[in-house]
Structure 1
Amino acid sequence: MLIAVLLFLSACSSTRFVPDDDYLLSNVRIRNKGADISKEQLRPYIRQHENTKILGFWKFYLGLYNLSGRDDEKGINKWLRSIGEEPVVFDSFLVAQSSQQMSLFLQNKGYFQPSVSDTIIYSGKKKAKVVYTIAPGPRYYLKDLGYGIEDDSVYGEIMADTTKTLLKDGRPFTLEIHEQERERITENLRSKGFYNFSEEYIYYLSDTTVGEHQVKDSLMVMTPEDVTGLKHHRRFRIRDVLFHVGIGTDNLLEEDSGSLASEFDTLRYSGAYIIYEEELSFKPQLLTNSSYIHSGDLYNSRLVSRTHQLLSGLRLFKYINIRFRETGEINDSGQPLLDCVIRLSPGKDQSFSIDIEGTNSSGNMGAAGNFTYQHKNLLRGGEFFTLNTRLARQNQFVRSSTEEFNTLELGAEASIVVPIFWIPLSIKEFRQRYNPKTNISLAYNFQRRPDYTRTIANARMGYNWRSSRYISHAFYPVEFNFVSIPEISSQFRDQISDTFLKFTYEDHLIVNMNYSFLFNQQTLGTNSDFWYLRANVESAGNLLSLASPLWDNNTDKDYDELLGIRYAQYLKSDVDLRYHNRLDNYTSLVWRLFAGVGLPYGNLDVLPFEKRYFSGGANSIRAWPVRGLGPGSYSDEGFGFYNQTADIKLEFNLEYRFKLFWILEGALFLDVGNIWSIKESSSPEGGLFKPDRFYEELAVGTGVGTRFDFKYFIFRFDMGLKTHDPSLPKDERWIPVNRPWTWEDVGFNFAIGYPF
């Protein structure tokens, strides 16, 4: 049925709704003769594009539009046109505009003698094709930047900062870099007290006649005389800092702070005024500790931004506004004074949510429920408390069992995030710069499976901070995990008794420290390209190993214990790299690379089960079930369930996403990867990583997916197909070459959200 619909859409006349004497814009091409300018840079300046294509050739949305009838009043016709795309009718005026815009873009990039021509090719069936031919010409470069600064008050600050200029000799001349230099100088001056300075006071004089395709620039800075009547730019200092908390906003900006202080309660704390309408729900030091704007300091625009970020990071206020007002007064040094007014509108302190979800992990149906309670101001100091509980049941696939639900999980976690750095050091400057927080959490998890019962108790304390807009860090110097295995089925115990797995199903203790680095350019609500990188490093058991002589139990065991429990010792690190490339308004290409390795040593020769890598499932190699792939070429039908884990993991995923209609989206994907053991003593047959053959053991899965975008969440269904199965004999691994696909080669995955 689906194939028939697709064929029907493809067969529809693409010019059905193109008016007589007009042409459908069927194709737009760019022929670019410039090495330094790509077609992708020029494409945004084309004012008219052809209809959107899926897979580079199929105008799916135009086909949907053409399915509609001529009657505009019929509901089905309206719906088809709303989800489709109207045919793009060729417009010669927009072609001319496109040529002009591309020529202007090239000039702004330093190509002052560009040639942009357009050719229109009319073909049969009312279609037109446009070809733009680009010859940028020679590029101009910067030489000898000079300065013309009329105002002595800013001369010294600007000249002292010239080593950081962006306009360096030999760089290509671009309008963009000149604008960035104006912004840089303005920000530098505004961070040193020049409150009224703006980019409009800076302009350039550029001489392109010096020869050899070079430009001599002069950066000019005007006085404010024409704007304010003053001959010099002035530095401003802060007189008063006033917090307005929960006060009506109708006329607040125009109202004098003195009259507000007489109408509402006022508290003076640490040099600041806190004016509030009702009782404060938090300690006053929470505000003063979250502000880098202080009475008597020079105005500093950078500290204004950091103050806004810090107050926003408290998650206590639904509205934050920082503004300044010139008082008309001057201090003893003749500097004008500003009042800083920080207006805050508190939000709700407490909230809770209940989530019920259905789960499907490679055919294992189940249900789960989550209850989450949050308090954003638990101890009136901005402490963010979260309590999360979870109950889940799932039918774990076991060949010998017919029980509908045979996997149970119960869990609870309590965490508190404190907006200060709990360490015995003075780090005021670090806090101002990075806004660190302390995170403390306790968690308990109970898991009952057909083969074993396991409990995990976790306690940790660490720090989170953000070093830039895109970069954040997490460091947990202390984390305790106590894993207990109270029950193991006799059948499972017999299966693992002679394998390395027996060590992973014994009671053990993990005392580790870990650090995570995150670089994330994604901005919610936008469709721009972005990179994502997460890197983790984790170490366990080393401190316990050094301290073990203090509690030596004089046992005959060849390993150490703490409180009668063997502890793990290992080093582990992994990297997750992703790139989201938006091709157009409807399609995108996303790829992901994951690489991780864990090295057990010392007190325990195998990684703990919960620290081992696994592959397969809805967010991994989707043609295989969770924990159903690897290690390496290992295959053992003796186990009645999937439970393959290892020390090394390597995965690559590529996904082409496209919008269909209504809330439906489609995807085509390719998944490649596997897991391997790092030590022969703990590796099943065929599971050991070997550099000269690991690439032969990479599993390859392909597939298609459907997504339902409900705005608040995305429901995903992916169907993966095994293409290269490393568990098969070498000459049979490429399945489509050796035999027809069967249902055993298909993996179905239901999930919430995108896989990556």
Structure 2
Amino acid sequence: MRGSLGLLYNRAKIGLLLLLFGISGCNTLKKVEDEELLLTKNSIFVDEEKVTDSEIKGLIGQKPNSSVLGYPLRLNLYNLAKENPDSSFNDWLHRKEKREKRLNNFLSAKQVNRLRESFLVKGSSEFLKRIGEPPAVIDTAKTNKSVKRLEAYYNTKGYFNSAATYEIVEGKREKRAELHYKVNLSKPYIVDSIQKNIASPELDSIYKLSAKKSYVREGEQFDLEKFTLERERLTSLFRNSGVYNFQESSINYDILRDTTLDANDQLLDIQLNIKKFRSSSNGVDTTTNYRVARIKKINIYADYDIYGAADSLQVLEYDNYNIYYSNKLRYKPKALTDAIFFTKDSIYRDLDRLRTYRQITNLNTFKYPNIDFIPDSTQTELVSNIYLAAKPKYSLNMNFDITHSNIQQVGTAFSTSVITRNVFGGAETLNVSARGSIGLLSDASLSNETFTSEIGGDINITFPRIWFPFKTEKVIPYYMLPQTRLLAGTNFQRNIGLDKQSLNSVLSYNWSPTNLHKNNFELLNVEFVRNVNPDNFYNVYRNTFSNLDDIADQFKGDSQYDDYFEVDDNGDQFLDIPNGANTFADDVLNGSIPVTSEEYDEVNSIEERRVRLTENNLIFASNFSHTKNSKSDINDLDFYQYRIKVESAGGMLALVANVVPYNKNDSGQNLVFGVPFSQYVKTEFDYIRHWRVGESQVIAFRSFAGIAIPYGNSNSIPFVRSYFAGGSNDNRAWNAYELGPGKTMNVNDFNEANLKLAFNLEYRFPLVGDLKGALFADAGNIWNVFDNENNPDAIFSGIDSLADIALGNGFGLRYDFTYFVFRLDLGFKTFNPGKVGSDRWFDGYNFKNSTFNIGINYPF
């Protein structure tokens, strides 16, 4: 069996090599006929100046073949496909018949046809054609269409006399050519005057109030896009000023020009026309003046059933709203009316209607609502009917996911949650969840075990409003979709560090001032972290133990120090864990064991780290984060995003210390429930920018800066709030926790600090189908600053420390499974600050010393 697998493996390698040689040796011009030319480049020149605008370049219909770093991969894959796979099959069949006369005895005609359609014969060629790309042969018909598009585009910009041509420029290499498009603009036309013809008096009055905001202005160049924007602006203006039934089709423009004037006269007179409202009834078209309408009555159907009868419902009048329901009203009236943004006797506004849709959806209690406006005969009064269909009271969600984190390479996670809606009658949502996961550690040195495990659960309740003792509607109105979240949860991790159990509770508020901006304010974020196995410190942090054991080597064999050591099966002595190692460190620090000053400092650093990482943490924090994302939709490949976060911990507890005396530990720290509370301030800035540089090609950039400064009751940052470098979402040339701090070189098993800078640049491009590639460069590091670290190599001392920024680069593959992206990255250490001199650059820059990372979804 093993031999068969080895043979299969060798054949696979040979096949892969043959495929690579086939692709690399493939003739790019294989399917370009003698009289044809392969298009290699498009260039656009406007008045002899080259155009780089992506919008204008997008007007060109025929484009060169796509490439990866200049290599036409998809074209060459297409060229590998046979033109007539059936003929190849028939040739094979003919040879087979000659060798074996009795072929037809065991192959029927039906089987032969099936074989002909098989992947190996015909399907392989079809597959190559599907994932490949036919040669972009210059087509003059398509080129002429592109010329017409260029002329039409510049006509919309006021260049009515523009003329476009093209030129085929053959290259030095055979059967290849570029297309040069040339546009002569001539003089642009200018808007000389604007007249208006508005049929409805009320529209005329509204227009006058905002005429200065018009996109179409006298003295400016004619631009059809501005006319389109002005139509949209006026439509929005009228529909938000009471004209609920205004139609954009009622707006048009006339261009007035005296043709008897000089042909060189480039001035245009524009007339804005806004017609009357047009309706059709019984095949008869009628026109009436547009009127401003007010909302006379608002009906809310809280138990809407399309099969029910409205006259069988009960009604409750509340704050000028009529709430219809059956049997018993399940919702607090205020919870319903607060989601409605138009009131009785107010003028109609489209903005209020859209905000109502958003807020009702934000309640997470109803399905998407239906809102009707019924006018009276005068078109000046409206009755609004709001139909609400409830979602199920309870729902059960179960998920099984592939997970990835900074600790584990890959894992599986199972989670389940029970959602209860409208818990207290105010559209509150209660979510009770449980989760568990198991994963493969990203670095074997992180634990004695290979796998990690985690189990936890949360109770989360969400209020669709700001839950606060004081009214906040004026500061955070309901159209900002405010929410209050109360969470309590616990989590237990095994085989990660010392095994940790955490208890946390959160009181947070979030709201969205606009579609682009989001705010989150965690008034209380309380977390208690308990190390379950503190005596296991030296078993987990093997590098730290090795450093301590090396210092103890000089005392091995001396009988007076035997209590520190244990003997393994080979007769070698090691510090006993935990008692021997802990006692040895204590005796060194209290002067009972003579060591050099350097050794004393090393032991002191080790002991400080052990105490810090084995003590339990109580974090009592508040934080605020603001996020802006300019991405318009999932297909937007050109956008930016930033996040600013500020956090403070322990401040309130420190203030209470002036009133309530705390117990203190030996280090003088105040204790709450026997645990020293953390005190620090922390701030972060994260910026992401994506540029679309071609068809499905993106350059992605990310920068991150974060610092956490301990003070008062703390001289260091809790491990769970500190920074690390390396891993699949950071500098991919290093494993997680392996890089830094500063120019130290992996001195600890978990290297972390309280200052971090990170910069990432990635070029993403399509390869074949859903398989994509990437080239990346990652830079950054972590440092200690304003804490108890005394190693100068780990401390950020100013601008000079920026010379210790590590650099890694590499390449990766991504496969898009629609719901998530599976990612493989291979990173190489380009500049390693932990080394000295010229060894910092490109030392170990090979596949053997590269770092392999598995990730889920894009890192930024």
TM-score (norm 2): 0.77
Judge conservation of contact 1:269–1:285 (CA < 8 Å) in 2. no
Of stretches 198-207 and 382-391 in structure 1, the one that deviates more from structure 2 is 198-207
2:506 pairs, out of 460, 470, 477, with 460
Contact 1:363 1:748 in 2 (8 A): no
Q: Secondary structure at 1:452's aligned position in 2?
A: coil
Q: Does 1:238 align with 2:286?
A: no
Contact conserved, 2:77 with 2:133, CA < 8 A, in 1? Answer: yes
Residues 173 and 215 in structure 1, CA contact (< 8 A), matched pair in contact too: no
Corresponding residue of 1:752: 856
Instruction: Give 2:562's aligned residue.
Output: none
**2:726 counterpart residue number:** 616
Q: Is the 8 A contact 1:699 1:726 kept in 2?
A: yes
Residue aligned with 1:304, SS? helix
For 2:148, the aligned partner's letter is: Q
What's the RMSD between the two structures over aligned residues? 3.6
Deviation of 1:216 (Å): 7.0
Match of 1:441 among 479, 487, 491: 487
> Is 2:276 the partner of 1:224?
yes
Task: Give the conservation status (yes or no) of the 8 Å contact 2:359–2:479.
Answer: no
Q: Tell me the residue number matched to 1:255.
A: none
Residues 749 and 554 of structure 1: CA distance in aligned 2, closer, same or farther (over 3 Å): closer
Give secondary structure in 2 for the equivalent of 1:423. coil
Partner of 1:46: 60
**Match of 2:291, SS?**
coil
Q: Distance in 2 between matches of 1:636 and 1:311?
A: 53
Q: Distance in 2 between matches of 1:295 and 1:319?
A: 23
1:469 aligned to 2:469? no
3-state SS of paired residue (1:159): helix
Equivalent runs, 1:549-564 vs 2, <5 Å = 549-553=658-662, 558-564=668-674
Match of residue 707 from structure 1: 814
Distance 1:611 1:275, change over 3 A: same
Residue 75 of structure 1 aligns with which residue? 123
For residues 181-232 of structure 1, the C-alpha deviation after alignment (integer angstroms, 9 at most, x for no partner) is 2212221221121112233333445679999999677562424177775563
**Aligned 1:202-281 pairs, distance under 5 A:** 202-204=251-253, 218=270, 220-224=272-276, 232-243=289-300, 260-262=309-311, 265=313, 267-270=315-318, 271-272=320-321
Q: Which amino acid aligns with 2:825?
A: D
Q: Name the SS for the 1:76 alignment partner.
A: helix
- Mapped to 1, the partners of 2:303 and 2:663 lie a distance apart of 65
Give the conservation status (yes or no) of the 8 Å contact 1:462–1:476. yes
Q: How big is the shift at 1:323? A: 3.6
For the 8 Å contact 1:272–1:288, the answer to whether it is kept is: yes
Cα distance between partner residues in 2 of 1:680 and 1:554: 23
> CA 1:699–1:362 in structure 2 vs 1: closer, same or farther (change >3 Å)?
farther
- Contact 1:29 1:131 survives alignment (8 Å): yes
Q: Is structure 2 residue 152 aligned with structure 1 residue 104?
A: yes
Q: 1:364 to 1:75 in 2, by over 3 A?
A: closer
Measure, in 1, the Cα distance between the counterparts of 2:199 and 2:46: 44
Q: Does 1:355 align with 2:400?
A: yes
Q: Does 1:521 align with 2:645?
A: no
Q: Deviations over 1:617-668 (max 9, x none)?
A: 111111111111111111254x4x2x11112111111222223334422222
Q: Which amino acid aligns with 2:741?
A: P
Q: How many Å separate the matches in 2 of 1:195 and 1:210?
A: 46
Q: Distance in 2 between matches of 1:478 and 1:212?
A: 71
Kindly state the Cα deviation for residue 718 of structure 1 after the two structures are TM-superposed: 1.4
Aligned residue among 382, 385, 391 for 1:338: 382
- Residue in 2 that maps onto 1:256: none
The reply to whether residue 692 of structure 1 matches residue 740 of structure 2 is no
Matches within 5 A, 1:183-198: 183-198=232-247
Q: Deviations over 1:430-455 (max 9, x none)?
A: 42331211111112222344752433
Q: 1:68, 1:80 within 8 Å by CA — same for their partners in 2? A: yes
Pick the aligned partner of 1:374 from 412, 419, 425: 419
Contact 1:373 1:388 in 2 (8 A): yes
| One of 313, 321, 324 as aligned partner of 2:362 | 313
Alpha-carbon distance change, 482 to 248 in structure 1, aligned in 2, over 3 angstroms: closer
Q: Over alpha carbons, which structure has the higher Rg? A: 2
Instruction: Give unpaired runs (5+ residues) of structure 1.
Output: 253-258
For these two proteins, the number of residue pairs brought into alignment is 734
Which residue pairs with 1:118 in the alignment?
A: 166
1:94 corresponds to 2:94: no
- The 1:91–1:321 alpha-carbon spacing in structure 2 relative to 1, beyond 3 Å, is farther
1:616 counterpart SS class:
coil
- Alignment of 1:290 onto 2:290: no
Cα distance, 1:468 vs structure 2 = 1.0
Structure 2 counterpart of 1:339, one-letter code: V
Whole-Å Cα distance in 2 between the matches of residues 34 and 158 of structure 1?
43
Deviation of the 1:536 alpha carbon: 1.0
Q: Tell me how far 1:368 sits from its aligned partner.
A: 4.2
Of the structure 1 ranges 318-327 and 362-371, higher mean CA displacement relative to structure 2 is found in 362-371
SS in structure 2 opposite 1:78? Answer: helix
Pick the aligned partner of 1:5 from 13, 19, 22.
19
Do the aligned partners of residues 713 and 557 (structure 1) sit closer, same or farther apart at CA in structure 2, a change above 3 Å counting?
A: closer
Q: Distance in 1 between matches of 2:376 and 2:310?
A: 17
2:10 is matched with none
Structure 1 residues 636 and 669 mapped into 2: Cα distance closer, same or farther (>3 Å)? Answer: closer
User: For residue 651 of structure 2, what is the amino acid of its counterpart?
Assistant: N
Amino acid paired to 1:754: Y
Query: In 2, are the aligned partners of 1:624 and 1:747 still within 8 Å (CA)?
Result: yes
Residues 159-186 of structure 1: per-residue CA shift (max 9 Å, x gap): 2224544446776653223322221222
Instruction: Give per-residue Cα distances to partners, 1:43-79, cap 9 Å, x unaligned.
Output: 1111221222222x22222222222112366222222
1:677 aligns with 2:723: no
Paired residue for 1:31?
A: 45
Deviations 1:465-487 (A, max 9, x none): 11111111111122212233353
Deviation digits for residues 500-545 of structure 1, max 9, x if unmatched? Answer: 6744542332222111111123355424422221211112222322
Residue 366 of structure 1: how far off its partner (Å): 5.5
Further displaced range: 362-371 or 348-357: 362-371
Distance (Å, rounded) in 2 between the aligned partners of 1:588 and 1:129: 24
**Residues 278, 750 of structure 1: alpha-carbon distance in 2 compared, 3 angstrom cutoff:** farther
Unpaired runs of at least 5, structure 2: 1-12, 86-116, 280-284, 542-581, 586-602
Matched, 1:418 2:463: yes
Contact 1:479 1:512 in 2 (8 A): yes
For the pair 1:511 / 2:620, whether they are aligned, the reply is yes
1:389 aligns with 2:421: no
CA distance in 2, matches of 1:378, 1:338: 34
User: Whole-Å Cα distance in 2 between the matches of residues 299 and 683 of structure 1?
Assistant: 67
**Displacement of 1:305:** 0.8
User: Secondary structure in 2 aligned to 1:153?
Assistant: helix
Give the secondary-structure state (helix, strand or coil) at the position aligned to 2:657. helix
- Pick closer, same or farther for the CA change 1:631–1:217 going to 2, 3 Å: farther
Whichever residue aligns with residue 79 of structure 1, its letter is F
Any conservation in 1 of the 2:39–2:64 contact (CA below 8 Å)? yes
Please report the TM-score for the alignment, with normalisation by the length of structure 1. 0.87
Contact 2:251 2:275 in 1 (8 A): no
Aligned residue for 2:165, secondary structure, equals strand
Q: Does 2:833 match 1:723?
A: no
- 1:282–1:363 CA distance, 2 compared to 1 (3 A): closer
User: In the TM superposition, what is the alpha-carbon distance from 1:134 to its structure 2 partner?
Assistant: 4.0
Query: Does 674-683 or 31-40 show the bigger shift?
Result: 31-40
SS of 1:311's partner is: helix
Greater CA deviation, 82-91 or 535-544? 82-91
